[in-house]
Amino acid sequence: MKKLIAAFVLSLIPVLGFASGAVHLDSANIDLKDQAALQRGAKLYVNYCLGCHSLKYFRYQSLMAFDLTEDQIKQNLMPSGGKIGELMTNAMDGEQAAKWFGAPPPDLTLEARLKEGGADWIYTYLRGFYQDASRPLGVNNRIFPNVGMPHVLADLQGMQKAVFSEHQDKDGGKTKVFDRFEQLTPGQLSPKEYDGVARDLATFLTHVSEPMQLERQRLGIYAMIFMLVFFVLAYALKKEYWKDVH
């Protein structure tokens, strides 16, 4: 038994070591029940993201789940002449996009489920762009180094620079560790307001990645209650059947 425990602990060492070196993610603290946040997130996505990043598994009519009418969606969130049942795709050519950005912009329908950290990753990423003259587009990202995407929300956030501190390990090697951001040029929004933009987009993409998440959680609670009641009844029945044996 001691050998098994020791082997189990040793097997966790690489995992724990990797986790300790992982990039810190800021908490998005999203609320999928917040209809206003979902509406704002949808508007931001259509205005700033959909031109490059499609949602090819999500339809415009699904936005009605955000307390929006069909007319509101057609007037404010859809291209003219489009149909409400169409998927949220764009007309960007993949080959041209690869030439411009180094790789075609990915579809983001499942982004919140694919990234470890989900909404927290998206929230931190959107707030993590900084000026970097060595990059082709002039920007880099704290949690996505050498990203090929421009900072499309720079007008809202402004431009910031990343301040790194130098750490020396026990072998004498030196590494740069992110310390903080410093604002270079102001944006249209205050830092707090821009955090709200990043949170709304993270909320929207989290819903898009799993529209039935709240319903699944609701049914899960009922399932747990059923299992608890069933366990009590089953245990009482077992006691009744075995009372003469014991």
Of 178, 191, 199, 183, the residue nearest 24 (C-alpha): 178
Residue 16 pLDDT > 60, yes or no?
A: no
The answer for residues whose C-beta is within 8 angstroms of residue 152's C-beta and 6 or more apart is 48, 49, 52
Mean pLDDT value across residues 126-138: 94
pLDDT bucket at 113, cuts 50 / 70 / 90: very high
Amino acid at 160: Q
DSSP character at residue 189: S
Instruction: Quote the CA–CA distance of 150 and 203 in Å, as a whole number.
Output: 22
Distances (CA, A) of 187 to 42, 86, 144, 204: 21, 34, 22, 23
- Which pTM value belongs to this model? 0.80
Alpha helices in the chain (DSSP H): 2-20, 35-44, 70-76, 94-101, 111-114, 119-126, 154-157, 191-209, 213-242
| Cβ atoms 202, 28 nearer than 8 A | yes
Q: pLDDT, tens digit, for every residue of 151-165? A: 999 999 999 999 988
